[in-house]
Structure 1
Amino acid sequence: MPTDRRIVLFDLFGVIARHQRPGALAKMATRCHTPTDAFTTAYWACRPPYDAGQQSAPEYWTAVLRSLSLSVGVDSDVDTDTIEELRLSDIDSWSRVDDRMVAYAQSLRAVTEVALLSNIPSDHADAFLTAQPWLHTLDHVAFSGRIKAAKPSPAAFHHCVIAMRAAPADFLFVDDREENVRAAQAVGMNGHVFTDRDELAAAIDTWLPSRRPTWR
């Protein structure tokens, strides 16, 4: 049963934060002396366990490199220093935020609860929390690498429900990926597919009748 609470649950990348920096994967591929297309395929194919906290960063990068038929270790194709370079380059490539969306999310806290659910490895999460102190002002922050569950798994959404002591219907989940919004709706949350800030603001204004944020 829903309560009288209202919680806007934001995705991070593609909503409040920018997607991966253009050209980042090509630079990482060059560092590994491998074609960009092949590197990109391996990068994403190996990603789910890393996002869900089932692999460490070295384990993830070893899996990526081995899928490219590159050996890892002393006197091999790639050494541990290269793996650390790739890890840091990867973190940097996901480090940009949309300042206007950050300001909007913060403004909403005057009228409703605001939380975040993001697919992000735990080491990326640590870096993001250090670089973006505004995250600490939110009512709850759930990073997949820390909660051991990644969208669109129902477990990721159930974590937020339990952690916030709320009902699924109390949430409006905002994500730029329709499959994730559908997954949230399947567990009983309200959902909105993000396209731009103005459209989102209109949707939230409708969802919060008689209460309006003051960001405009």
Structure 2
Amino acid sequence: MAHQRSNKLEGLKESPMPVGEPVPSTPKAVIFDIGRVIVRLDLNRALAPIAAAMHGAIDQSAKRLSPEETWAFIRADQHWQDWQEGRISSAEWHQHLMRRLKLSLSYREFRDAWNLVLDPELILSESLFARLSARCQLALLSNTDPIHAECLEQRFTFGRYFPVRIYSCRIGASKPSPLIYRAALELLGVAAHQAMYVDDIQEFVDAARQMGLDAIRFETRDLLEVELCRRQLC
């Protein structure tokens, strides 16, 4: 399997570039989103228990929400962005959400369930970050809440390759706001055109490009490797 993957990657690396497509310059820094780029998000594992509790608490006759629908329901809350940008504490968010969902989970129960969304099996390997960190600066840039930020810092080790770690809940701004991209650039000490940005959400890629960053949408590790090689980072 590894041999087949290597052959596939080599084939992609050797594919000719489309005529007229400019060759990107080698960045001084690479900035990564986290969720669905580095860390897998397992909504079912985290939200199935909450969805089940919601079904019992709100209306027994109502259709039971899927984990994806539960995630969308929670993200649509009027205070979601306040929590994501650090204007309310995790304790306040927990109390608000329990009242809204008519649940009685303790803070610890909610925190532990919430953190289950962060799958310990990474999408991108630490060997990639070790290699890149020898060639350029690395940074993390994520829309995330204080509970997940703490979990990422304590339970995952890939952060050691990222001396600059920007979380929306600590900056007070979230993507696609220019403020959060600017915060990363300032801490890295590079201009926008000197940084590469990787995200799985096209809206955030577009926002980074408008700031002048060399931004790409993440799809697979193999395709990311191709883009890194085009920038002399392989």
Fold match by TM threshold 0.5: yes
Structure 1 contact 6–113 (Cα < 8 Å) conserved: yes
Q: 1:173 to 1:4 in 2, by over 3 A?
A: closer
Aligned alpha-carbon RMSD (Å): 2.3
Structure 2 contact 47–113 (Cα < 8 Å) conserved: no
1:20 to 27, 42, 49: 42
Cα distance in 2 for partners of 1:103, 1:28 equals 35
Partner of 2:117: 93
Counterparts in 2 of 1:40-189, with a 5 A limit?
40-46=71-77, 47-68=80-101, 70=102, 78=104, 82-98=106-122, 100-189=124-213
Deviation of the 1:23 alpha carbon: 4.2
Cα distance in 1 for partners of 2:190, 2:124 equals 28
List structure 1 runs of 4+ shifted beyond 4 angstroms: none
5+ residue gaps in structure 2? 1-24, 58-63
Structure 1 contact 171–189 (Cα < 8 Å) conserved: yes
Cα distance in 1 for partners of 2:144, 2:42 equals 12
2:228 to 192, 201, 204: 204
SS across alignment from 1:36: coil
Q: 1:41 to 1:206 in 2, by over 3 A?
A: closer
Cα distance in 1 for partners of 2:26, 2:230 equals 15
Cα distance in 1 for partners of 2:127, 2:195 equals 20
Q: 1:29 to 1:82 in 2, by over 3 A?
A: farther
**Superposed CA offset, 1:64-83 (max 9, x none):** 33434x2xxxxxx52xx524
SS across alignment from 1:172: strand
% identical aligned pairs: 24
Please identify, of 55-64 and 174-183, the stretch whose mean Cα deviation from structure 2 is larger.
55-64
Q: 1:40 to 1:139 in 2, by over 3 A?
A: closer
Which one has a bigger Cα radius of gyration? 2
* Count of aligned positions: 199
5+ residue gaps in structure 1? 71-76
